[in-house]
Structure 1
Amino acid sequence: MFRYTVRFSEEEHNRFLSMFEKSGVNAKSVFLKAHFFGQPFKVLKVDKTLVDYYTKLSDFHAQFRAIGTNYNQVVKELRLHFSEKKAMALLYKLEQQTVELVKLSRRIVELSREMQEKWSQKSV
């Protein structure tokens, strides 16, 4: 086993750390050897905007599932505790809100497609 020492200026050190972080390699020595001997290595780039969007989209999905469950419970309760006329009036209001929810859902799908297209163009 042989060991070598390398000295970097502050600028070189910062550049080295940046390259190391992007590589995804778990040890600096492994990164240096691979880079020195010209072995290929991956550079991972994380798009913070995409991560944030994905997180928010996951939250929306969970909320939509919860709304679906609540919707079924509301309809059952309306049928059990209200006259047919009153239940129909309340269901009409619920239906209007559901239409708004569907519009929102379609807009989310549109935005997701736009994000997908932009992201695909960036990665090329």
Structure 2
Amino acid sequence: MDDKKSNYRKKGGRKPKTNPSIHRHVFRLTDEENDKLMSLFESSGMVNKAKFIISLLFAREIRTVIIDKGSIDFYMRLTSFYSQFRAIGVNYNQLVKLLYTHFSEKNAAVFLYKLEKQTAEMAVLCQKIIKITEEFDRNHLKK
């Protein structure tokens, strides 16, 4: 009976790998070579140095991702600016409805004229923003 229980016992620990890496190689680098290797490793975005070196040795594809913080910041601010423009559009519609419900035709027309002038200024500002964005895209992102 004890033999049957010992057969059913589960083994603990990690499952063994099907193709383990058992061969080890050591090499030495000069300071310049090490700096170059470290900069390549950091720019690759890989986490494991050994896998990075293996990918270099066997000419596997190495992906380098460069993140431009200035571009990201620019587009984040542009997106928030666009959402503010949308909020102004919603407020514009609400304001026109309120003008016609709470004021006489004459007073509403006066306020609406002032609102139209401000809207024209915003349209000019929007065109400038579009030009700046296209210029930024042309000069900094499409390299």
Q: Tell whether 2:72 aligns with 1:51.
A: yes
Q: Which has the larger radius of gyration?
A: 2
Closer, same or farther: CA 73–9 of 1 in aligned 2, 3 Å: farther
Choose from 42, 47, 53 the match for 1:21. 42
- Please identify which structure carries the higher helix content: 1
Q: What residue is the counterpart of 1:90 in the other structure?
A: 111
Identity rate of aligned residues, in percent?
40
Q: Which amino acid in structure 2 is aligned with residue 96 of structure 1?
A: K
Closer, same or farther: CA 112–80 of 1 in aligned 2, 3 Å: same
Q: Residue by residue, what CA displacement relative to the aligned partner does 1:85-109 show, whole Å, maximum 9, x if unpaired?
A: 1111111111111111111110111
Gaps (5+ residues) in structure 2? 1-21
C-alpha displacement of 1:121: 4.5
C-alpha displacement of 1:116: 1.1
C-alpha displacement of 1:54: 0.7
Gaps (5+ residues) in structure 1? none
Q: Which amino acid in structure 1 is aligned with residue 49 of structure 2?
A: K
Whole-Å Cα distance in 1 between the matches of residues 70 and 85 of structure 2?
A: 22
Whole-Å Cα distance in 1 between the matches of residues 87 and 108 of structure 2?
A: 22
TM-score, normalising length from structure 1?
0.83
Whole-Å Cα distance in 2 between the matches of residues 67 and 96 of structure 1?
A: 14
Q: What residue is the counterpart of 1:101 in the other structure?
A: 122
Q: Which amino acid in structure 2 is aligned with residue 51 of structure 1?
A: I
* Stretches (4+) displaced over 3 A: 3-17
C-alpha displacement of 1:22: 1.6
Q: Residue by residue, what CA displacement relative to the aligned partner does 1:28-72 show, whole Å, maximum 9, x if unpaired?
A: 222121112222211111122211111111111111111111111
Whole-Å Cα distance in 1 between the matches of residues 91 and 31 of structure 2?
A: 58
TM-score, normalising length from structure 2?
0.73
